[in-house]
Structure 1
Amino acid sequence: MDEYGGRRPTSHERMAGRAWDASYQDGPAPWEIVGPQPAVVELAARGVFGGAVLDAGCGSGENTLHIAALGVPVLGVDVAATAIDAARQKALERGVEAEFAVADALHLERLGRAFDTILDSGLFHTFDTGERAAYAGSLARAAKPGTMLYVVSFSDEGPEPVPHAVSQDDVRTAFSQGWTTVSIEPCRLETRIHDNGAPAWLSTIRRS
């Protein structure tokens, strides 16, 4: 089996010329920061994570672990096995009960589970237009009616250049079928290459 595990490489992987997993094999990936994303911490403080929670594209697990430490049952998934291994090790070292699995975000129905709350911190914007529609459908198949989805993605409205910048219309278009966009607010997405974070959107979306 190839480095993509037999699946079709995503647009980001084709552009980068390597699988997502490779980004975690030579030290921290550019999007991996120390601790959870501030936007996720703020969401958690607002008490939005309830019921069964899915963290789609969890990387090495910092956001998942933050939510789990609050006593909320959460599953973090990522297509990168190296990232999932690191997440499990962190959970063990910190004594936090969190579940992690290697999974393709474009086929979340394979989990065989439905979630009450879903987090996407930094995954949506990596997909091209066609993949975004497929991703929204995948999320819908893993969601219950009324499930709340929170998406943190790079924004096209900011002075700093960011990779894969998306517009508010991009978000609304991707989630136009089976979802209702409740709000889109500006926020910051921390990375290892942006001193004060990058301009981002925090989108709140409800499953129909």
Structure 2
Amino acid sequence: MSERSGDPFGGRQPTSHERMTGLPWDASYQDGPAPWDVEGPQPAIVRAAADFTGPVLDVGCGSGENALYVASLGFSVLGVDVAETALAIARDRAAERGIEAEFLVADAFRLDRLGRKFETVLDCGMFHTCDAAERPRYAASLGSAIEPGGTLYVLCFSDIGPDVGPHPVSRDDLGSAFESSAGWNVVAIEQDRVLTRFHGDDGAPAWFATIKRS
């Protein structure tokens, strides 16, 4: 069932964020840009892209700016999201810019259903929307989509500094979600910034984590 057939959550279990707001993710894109749609790639992704290998998966890609930037560098890129309005915007932007990228509706908690694995996986703003109960399931889903030896990059709100975002995450939260016993190797968790439409030109305090899949 899709949102168009009367179920706003498309037949899936609502996330903790959706339960909190009472609205599906798609609603964020229906009355203008979403708070995290800054109409360009996140600087952290631009800096890290030199180390990417393909193919690349962008989880919770929204309107596609990070995926489109990576695709413009020549990588094969798939962006997935549950918000169909966001994906329509992403496809339009790809067509307008002449960039080849694929965008599909997919549940971030069931990435195994893609039946595909990727050498690089991006999460720009998805992890910090997960509550403590969701994080192990989300991490397992990410693991199902990464090739052995592949790399996951996570950009999320930090709990350190003034003007933190609405879902701050601690360094320990990241480490606990991606444990070595579950096939992860946390290479680095560095302080960074994440751009939003409400945090000024410098963005909000963030963590940028580089995590390898065993």
TM-score (norm 2): 0.95
Cα displacement (A) at 1:160: 1.2
Give the match's secondary structure for 1:54.
strand
Aligned to 1:87: 90
What residue number does 2:142 align with?
139
- Listed as ranges, the gaps of 5+ residues in structure 2 are 1-5
* Gap regions ≥5 residues in structure 1: none
**Other-structure match for 1:56:** 59
Residue 169 (structure 1) aligns with: 172
Q: Distance in 2 between matches of 1:143 and 1:161?
A: 30
How many residues are aligned here?
206
Deviations 1:88-117 (A, max 9, x none): 010001000111111000000111100001
Instruction: Give the match's secondary structure for 2:69.
Output: helix
For residue 3 of structure 2, what is the aligned residue in structure 1? none
- Whether 1:16 aligns to 2:21 is yes
Matched, 1:26 2:31: yes
**After superposition, what is the alpha-carbon deviation per residue over 1:50-96, rounded to whole angstroms, capped at 9, x for unaligned?**
12100011000000000000001110111101100110010001000
Partners in 1 of 2:183 and 2:138 — Cα distance? Answer: 12
Normalising by structure 1, report the TM-score.
Answer: 0.97
Task: Give the counterpart of 2:126 among 119, 123, 131.
Answer: 123
Q: Is the 8 A contact 2:158 2:164 kept in 1?
A: no
Could you tell me the percent identity over the aligned residues?
62
Partner of 1:198: 204
> Shift in Å at residue 161 of structure 1?
3.2
RMSD: 0.8
What's the counterpart of residue 72 of structure 1?
A: 75
Letter in 2 for 1:33: V
- Determine helix, strand or coil for the equivalent of 1:90: helix
Instruction: Please tell me the residue identity of whatever aligns with 1:25.
Output: Q
In the TM superposition, what is the alpha-carbon distance from 1:147 to its structure 2 partner? 0.9
1:49 and 1:57 mapped to 2: Cα distance? Answer: 18
1:136 is aligned with what amino acid?
A: A
Moved over 2 A (4+): none
CA distance in 1, matches of 2:165, 2:71: 30
Residue in 2 that maps onto 1:36: 41
Aligned equivalents of 1:99, 1:50: Cα separation in 2: 17
- Residue 144 of structure 1 and its aligned partner are, at CA, apart by 1.1
